[in-house]
Amino acid sequence: MREITQGDTDRLTRAYFDSMLLEMRHIDGKKPDTSFTLYAEKFDTPIMATALSALENIREDAMTEMAKGAVKAGAVCWAEAGDNEDLQRITQTGAKVIKIIKPYKDNKRIFEEIEQAKACGALAAGIDIAYTFDGTGAPTEASGYVMAPKSVEEIREFAGASSLPFIIKGVLGEQDAYKALCAGAGGIVVSHRHGIMKYALPPLMALPAILKVVSGQAPVFVECKIADGMDAFKALALGAAAVCVENAIIEPLKRQGADGVYSAIKAMNDELKGAMAGTGCYDLSHMDKTVIHKM
């Protein structure tokens, strides 16, 4: 387990979540509905299985089991690591998959993975711009490949390479949000790579300003160590279209495979429904940020 230090981004993010309290509203309440539509596909929950890497360290069939669990839960399944065969196995489960591509220095590989995502019937594709550098400022390396930062012009070429919506992951401020839109982004993930930079903004702190820049032109997702349905509610109430969940599904995936992923997402979605019912937010189009109060 990574050591928690002063300025640790995970600690700051957790503290920000916990500083937000909810105002209860019961009059004129309605039974909550968590269904939503993304890229013309309908899902039962806005709680999504995030793009995880190194899943082979969890269990041999981890990627397909996570996808099966997401299908059972009626959730979107994100995928990052793995080759074309892995992506084929995931999509063959019936999962609606968003393929996130690393920012390889060799742009040819990025274009190849975009084409693979399209050929496999992925829901969308995208790039993780935050995976470029390590904590020392050196280019990140993964599986023998070196990463490199991408310009607006390069991202525009990626976004135009196929008919799939192209998502920019790793946005944590207004400037990158604006540049992502200029590059033709079909979605934005507000997140940071935990532990890479101390004192990074908690994603939920950055979210309102990013939403103002995006102004409904593309869905905005949040990935930030969401631990339960209450965390998910807070992100959604602030305006996120959906949330990506990581740690909360790793252990269930390891122990129970698809059933564990399904149970984890369902439990979080049930808690989300409870928070919605208690605050008068009866569906995802009627979330209300005024129910949130900062300590």
Q: Looking at the annotation, which residues are catalytic?
A: 194
The per-residue DSSP string of 109-130 comes to: HHHHHHHHHHHTT-SEEEEEGG
Please tell me the distance from the alpha carbon of residue 224 to that of residue 235, in angstroms, as a whole number: 10
Please tell me the distance from the alpha carbon of residue 55 to that of residue 53, in angstroms, as a whole number: 5
Residues facing residue 124 across a β-bridge: 98
Q: Are 190 and 221 spatial neighbours (Cβ–Cβ below 8 Å)?
A: yes
Please tell me the distance from the alpha carbon of residue 208 to that of residue 237, in angstroms, as a whole number: 11
The C-alpha torsion from 49 through 237 and 129 to 182, rounded to 10°, is 130
Q: Are 229 and 272 spatial neighbours (Cβ–Cβ below 8 Å)?
A: yes
